[in-house]
Structure 1
Amino acid sequence: MSDYDILVIGSGPAGHRAAIQAAKRGKRVGLIERKPRIGGAGLQTGTIPSKALREIAYSATMGASHGMRNVYPNITRQHNFLSESVRQKDIVIDKQESVFLSQLMRNGVALIPGEAGFSDVHTLRIKTPHGEELYIQADKFILATGSRPRRPADVPFDKERVLDSTSILHMQELPKTLTIVGGGVIACEFATIYASLGVEVTMVDSHAKILDFLCADVSGNLATSMQHMGIEFCMNESIQSISRQGDKVILQCKKSSIESDCLLYALGRIPNTDGLGLQNMGIQCQKRGWIKTNKHYQTNVPHIYAVGDLIGAPALAATGMEQGRIAALHACDSDEAITSSHLPMAIYTIPEVAWVGDTCTQLDEQGSNYVSGFGYYRETARGQIIGDSNGMLKLLVDSNTRKLLGVHIVGESASELVHIGQMVMNLHGTVDDLIRHVFNYPTLAECYKIAALHCSSQLKRGRQN
């Protein structure tokens, strides 16, 4: 008899959710974590710390005009922002970690400290923090070891001036200037955080525009807001070298040379598969090391599952948690229905970006007939009250069925507002449901009705994209 029914490796959002879901189905579950604290990158070095930093920065600067200064009363001047924000961030992490531990204990999940790797198909070799080796057997395994920032050997990372997305969270003083290499989600989030605090930010990327997977008008709206914050863009640029010269960092590009106090290198992440022994197990991986899985998150070795950042895009905490739930249910031989394909996505820039469903580009490639409708924050009383004149909500609606095909939002509370559209799409609703729906006044949610009416008008006129 095995020691456990299911062993989960990694206690981040995906692993934590998988372990609890399996335990709720009556399985004997062990959760293995190699770090001193649980929660993975999602809690300790990624999602929660960066979002806490974002909210603190917003409340201390951008939110001051909204009467939000009292949320973090000790952060009143930029010179003590980072030291205070680190303290506040740690408080949030401690509280959330306590919640995680309580949930594991309440559901009877055994927490096993140590670094795990496969010894054979049903046995893990675990090196404990005390240097001992344990061998634990299980019927099934769920891998949820996450990812880490990509750190090329030719980039002189030093945790002081040349930083990755983990080490930048530990800066104690605000730099005057910051260069960010990258134009993706992490790069844009940190760019807006530090620009909001008065740091001169320059973004450098090889692509023509930031976040090029978004609808063009959404990424364009965000880029305009970022430029208004003072962020400079150097796009279509080729990076040749990064070096330290005294207390400055020099980024040498093909077209220019950029000097700054600090540099954030934010060009991707890589999976944490080191030491797991995947090759010995015959587990198939994709080109960049991400593990291949099916719709149940099974690998090609049927009793081994992989979830979260370990399997690549979208690599979000929310999707990782859902993947963990689905994998655990399948591992428990449950026939429970798989989640809807309409999953919400969010980028925690200032302002936020969120979406669900298809983009215009995807619909055009599919040959779909659709119309676009817009609701602008400035058209609502709530938008005027909070001073967000640039916020925008965009609906994509099927010209024949009138069903929602996509919702795209840029502006305050976008990450919250997107769930209204998600629910309508999951319930196969139409634009008419939004028109008939009564929204509180004044709210930003009224943008749904405005955009829906815009779509309806176009449909009556027979217009389509």
Structure 2
Amino acid sequence: MPARKKELSSTNYTKYDAVVLGSGPAGEGAAMKLAKSGKRVAIVDMREQLGGNCAHVGTIPSKALRQTVSSIIRYQRDSLFQKAGEWKQFTMKQILRNAHKVIQQQVETHTRFYDRNQIEIYHGRAYLQDKNTVLVFSNEGIKETLICKQIVIATGSRPYQPAELDFNHPRVFDSDKILDLDFHIQKIIIYGAGVIGCEYASIFVGLENKVDLINTQEKLLSYLDDEISDALSYYLRELGVLIRHNEQIDKLETFDDHVVLHLMSGKKIKADAILWCNGRSGNTDGLGLENVGLQPNSRGQLTVNEQYQTEVENIYAAGDVIGWPSLASAAYDQGRCAGANMVGEKHVKPVTDIPTGIYTIPEISSIGKNEQQLTEEKIPYEVGQSFFRQLARAQITGDTVGMLKILFHRDTLEILGIHCFGNNASEIVHIGQAVMQSPDNSLKYFAETTFNYPTMAEAYRVAALNGMNRLF
């Protein structure tokens, strides 16, 4: 089957059952579900290559960058290797060279998915003329008109850029632009200590840059379990990150060779560059939402119901453009759920129970409730812990930083939450997730199951036995 890319023309009018705006995880999930349900589907994307922000400037390149930095850190701590340090001469662009290969592989893979499901692809800017008409514009202004019964808005998000900062300055970056950093730096300011800010703090300090992490809140990632949040703060500080809590920007001065950040507290911080990581905005500008009666919020995000349906009956939305949780994994499932509701499937569950995956070095991942929530709800819980430094596999690999924490009901032994900090945490958490969502959810599973030795999965057995020893 040849690629079904559609060339734009000013006279072509085509009818579809559904048109999906955006080819990231949410758009792909919706398009595939609709196509497999027998619908004629078109997808419209701004880029000449598929994959959305996730593939080109978000998840894939940033995680590929993280993997390279992790390898450098591991290389540096292995006494068998000479610490030559040639990598210090590389720029961010050079370090990301491998990421570009991964991006291309992802584009090719997902393009095959669209071809296989006979989904027609339009490259250009989408504009809603009305609730059943999507216009597609190219850079040359050529227009394509798509008539459809239903629409999915899955246009993703972009870094929020406050008007008072000049992001055209070569030393002022957001999380998209930072991937093109092509000069050497020794110190960087990261403003915003959310997921993206913390991930990049661990990346830059791993490259032996000085990092000032400016947090507008009282603590890092306050929605995490306190112990995990504290562990992240401790480890980042141990690596050399200077974390400044409860701070707000006053102004930023930019110069040819440095920047100076002025904080409301009176502090002044000089660095080679600043990376702004304080929020994201939904990509809804210029979509023509006013023509269909949709009004995004101040961050460009759309409101949907449990069916991922907007206030306009035949228009659905999924992924980052609807806000929380803004995760690629959740976005794909949200898109699939939207597609299922669009074709009339019954009892479609909205996407909940989403595992958190934070790709700091090392990683953080969790699912279920944390200790603060269980305490507030007065649920009688107990804790089982396993520290990675005590596991043979961690000692072999050298990844001894971290822990696994199981929260369980002390009477029924039902697992209530899994919290993990350490290398491969985002993989390890899924073992606990599978047990939590099984009909026989019980801590006994881990205490009575034989695990390969040595493995990181053995942490579950150790934590389960640790927790059961606390019972009386």
Same fold per TM (> 0.5)?
yes
Q: Does 1:317 align with 2:359?
A: no
Match for residue 22 of structure 1 among 30, 34, 38: 34
Partner of 1:7: 19
AA matched with 1:140: Q
* Deviation at residue 176 of structure 1 after TM alignment: 0.4
Partner of 2:66: 54
Contact 1:284/1:299 (CA < 8 Å) preserved in 2?
no
**Pairs within 5 Å for 1:256-275:** 256-275=267-286
The structure-2 alpha-carbon separation of the partners of 1:13 and 1:199, relative to structure 1 and needing over 3 Å to count, comes to same
AA matched with 1:355: S
Contact 2:20/2:151 (CA < 8 Å) preserved in 1?
yes
Separation in 1 of the partners of 2:128 and 2:170?
36
Partner of 1:250: 260
**Pairs within 5 Å for 1:52-451:** 52-65=64-77, 76-158=86-168, 160-253=170-263, 254-283=265-294, 285-286=296-297, 288-335=299-346, 337-338=348-349, 341-428=352-439, 429-451=441-463
Contact 2:340/2:348 (CA < 8 Å) preserved in 1?
no
* Deviation at residue 387 of structure 1 after TM alignment: 2.1
Instruction: Please state whether the residue corresponding to 2:217 is helix, strand or coil.
Output: coil
Pairs aligned (count):
456
The structure-2 alpha-carbon separation of the partners of 1:99 and 1:64, relative to structure 1 and needing over 3 Å to count, comes to farther
Unaligned residue ranges in structure 2 (runs of 5+): 1-12
Deviates more, 1:139-148 or 1:125-134: 125-134
Contact 1:210/1:219 (CA < 8 Å) preserved in 2?
yes
AA matched with 1:371: E
Deviates more, 1:275-284 or 1:95-104: 275-284
AA matched with 1:43: A
Deviates more, 1:328-337 or 1:12-21: 328-337
% identical aligned pairs:
36
AA matched with 1:167: K
* Deviation at residue 339 of structure 1 after TM alignment: 6.3
Deviates more, 1:330-339 or 1:148-157: 330-339
* Deviation at residue 400 of structure 1 after TM alignment: 2.8
Moved over 4 A (4+): 63-69
Unaligned residue ranges in structure 1 (runs of 5+): none
AA matched with 2:181: M
Separation in 1 of the partners of 2:269 and 2:177?
21
Contact 1:125/1:136 (CA < 8 Å) preserved in 2?
yes
The structure-2 alpha-carbon separation of the partners of 1:42 and 1:393, relative to structure 1 and needing over 3 Å to count, comes to same
Partner of 2:45: 33
Separation in 2 of the partners of 1:415 and 1:159?
36
Contact 1:159/1:168 (CA < 8 Å) preserved in 2?
no
The structure-2 alpha-carbon separation of the partners of 1:281 and 1:55, relative to structure 1 and needing over 3 Å to count, comes to same
Contact 2:158/2:280 (CA < 8 Å) preserved in 1?
yes
> CA-atom RMSD, angstroms?
2.0
Contact 1:242/1:249 (CA < 8 Å) preserved in 2?
yes
The structure-2 alpha-carbon separation of the partners of 1:441 and 1:292, relative to structure 1 and needing over 3 Å to count, comes to same
* Deviation at residue 282 of structure 1 after TM alignment: 2.1
Instruction: Please state whether the residue corresponding to 2:404 is helix, strand or coil.
Output: strand
* Deviation at residue 102 of structure 1 after TM alignment: 0.9
Instruction: Please state whether the residue corresponding to 2:469 is helix, strand or coil.
Output: helix
Deviates more, 1:95-104 or 1:15-24: 15-24
Partner of 2:9: none
Separation in 2 of the partners of 1:37 and 1:336?
35
Separation in 2 of the partners of 1:283 and 1:372?
46
Partner of 2:6: none
